[in-house]
Amino acid sequence: MPTELIYPIAMLAGFGLALGIGLAIAAKVFAVEVDPRVEAIEKLLPGANCGGCGFPGCSGYAEAMVLAGASPSLCPAIKAPEQKKVGEVLGVVVEERAPMMAVIRCAGKVSPENFKYDYMGEPDCATAVLLAGGPNPCRYGCLGMGSCVKACPFGAMTLRPDLPPIVDPEKCVACGKCVSACPKALITLMPVDRQIIVMCSSLDKGKPVKDLCAVGCIACGLCAKKCPETAITMERNLPVIDYAKCTSCGTCAEVCPQNSILDKNRKTVAAGV
């Protein structure tokens, strides 16, 4: 075997051996033990990394549950069967949590016809709000450009012409992404089974509201007076319902002259949310 054959073979084989062993040792020395339970749980979680549980994504939450004992019921997006399995893996009983959903507290008409200026910019609420509080004449009203719709990782919200977006209770997991996305802070998380909701966030009183919006609350206070359980108090020109006392009788929705209060049993809000 002439030398010009031996040298290359020896060189490369030598490198191969050294590097092969080096990598094998490195894989052993630097092996990072991953707790099998973390992987098991991570597979059960929805994997949308929505952050509703307060941890950085599902893998962060899984690690927190296994290593730091975080409560398994924080995940808003998980379906009941998976949640039970996570409990089993952790060996912890998982108490049921009342399903929540996002609600947009505005039912006013949102259309370019009654905008106070011609908005030609980026179709996004967060951008539109920079221009004199957005094109909607009502300073507190929804801009209807779907920042919340874009923010929702579960596609639970859909835009509608002339009305604020509609929320699909099935898909909505109350992860709260839309709450922070809405520049007018109209969205709050409420139990899905809540009947009576005040569908307006305007802090103005009387005439200014009446001129701009057919269903805006004019802070007349009738609902507070008429409520049999005195569950409603007027704060900053808006009725605030104490849901502990409220029996969802619906009188407030009936008496409200502007139909600003939604009663899901009888769908009183004029805009038919």
Partner 1 sequence: MMNDIVVLVIGAIFVNNFVLARFLGICPFVGVSKRVGDAVGMGMAVIFVMILASVASWLTFFYVLTPLKIEYMTTIAFILIIASLVQFVENVIKKMAPALYKSLGIYLPLITTNCAVLGIALLNVQNGYTLTQTVLHAVGASVGFTMALVLLAGIRERLERADIPPSLKGAPITFITSGLLAIAFMGFIGMV
Partner 2 sequence: MLNELTKGIFRENPLLRLLLGTCPSLAVTSSLENGFGMGAATTFVLLCSNAMISLLKGIVPSKVRIPVFIVIIATFVTITDLSMSAYVPDLHKNLGLFIPLIVVNCIILGRAEAFASKNGIVPSLLDGLGMGIGFTMALSLIGSIREILGAGTLMGASLFGPSYQPFLMFVLPAGAFLTLGLTMGVMNWMEKRKA
Partner 3 sequence: MKSAFEIMKIGAFLMAVCALASFGLALTNRATAPLISEQKRIAREMAMKEVLPGAVEFEDIELSDGRLAFNGKNSSGETIGMATIVSPKGYGGVIETMVGMDVDFKVTGIKILNMQETPGLGAKAGDPAFSGQFKGKTGEQLYLSDKDVKKGEIDAITASTITSKAVTDGVREAVEAMKNAE
Q: Tell me the pairing of strands 157-160 and 163-167.
A: antiparallel
- x/- contact string, 29-58, with partner 1 (CB under 8 A)? xxxx--------------------------
Residue pair 46/74 in contact by the 8 Å Cβ criterion = no
Which listed residue (1, 5, 27, 98) binds partner 2 by CB under 8 A?
27
C-alpha–C-alpha distance, residues 159 and 148, integer Å: 9
Taking CA atoms, 52 is separated from 49, 79, 88, 145, 152, in Å, by: 8, 14, 22, 23, 11
Name which of 184, 14, 212 is nearest 105 in CA terms. Answer: 184
Residues 94-106 as b or e (16 or more Cβ within 10 Å = b): beeeeebbbbbbb
C-alpha–C-alpha distance, residues 107 and 256, integer Å: 14
- x/- contact string, 25-54, with partner 3 (CB under 8 A)? x--x--------------------------
Which listed residue (6, 11, 18, 24) binds partner 2 by CB under 8 A?
24
Bridge partner residues of 160 (DSSP): 163
54 binds partner 2 (CB under 8 A): no
| Chosen from partner 3, partner 2, partner 1, none, partner binding at 93 (C-beta under 5 to 8 Å by type) | none
Residue pair 108/213 in contact by the 8 Å Cβ criterion = yes
| Chosen from partner 1, partner 2, partner 3, none, partner binding at 122 (C-beta under 5 to 8 Å by type) | partner 1
Residue 4 or 113 having the CB closest to partner 3: 4
Taking CA atoms, 20 is separated from 13, 32, 54, in Å, by: 10, 20, 43
26 binds partner 1 (CB under 8 A): yes
Binding span for partner 2 by CB under 8 A among 19-27, 129-137, 148-156, 167-175: 19-27
DSSP-derived 3-state class of residue 6: helix
16 binds partner 1 (CB under 8 A): yes
14 binds partner 2 (CB under 8 A): no
Q: Binders of partner 3 among 3-22, rule CB under 8 A?
A: 4-5, 8-9, 11-21
7 binds partner 1 (CB under 8 A): yes
- Can you give the binding site for partner 2, defined by CB under 8 A? 12, 16, 19-20, 23-24, 27
- Can you give the binding site for partner 3, defined by CB under 8 A? 4-5, 8-9, 11-21, 23-25, 28
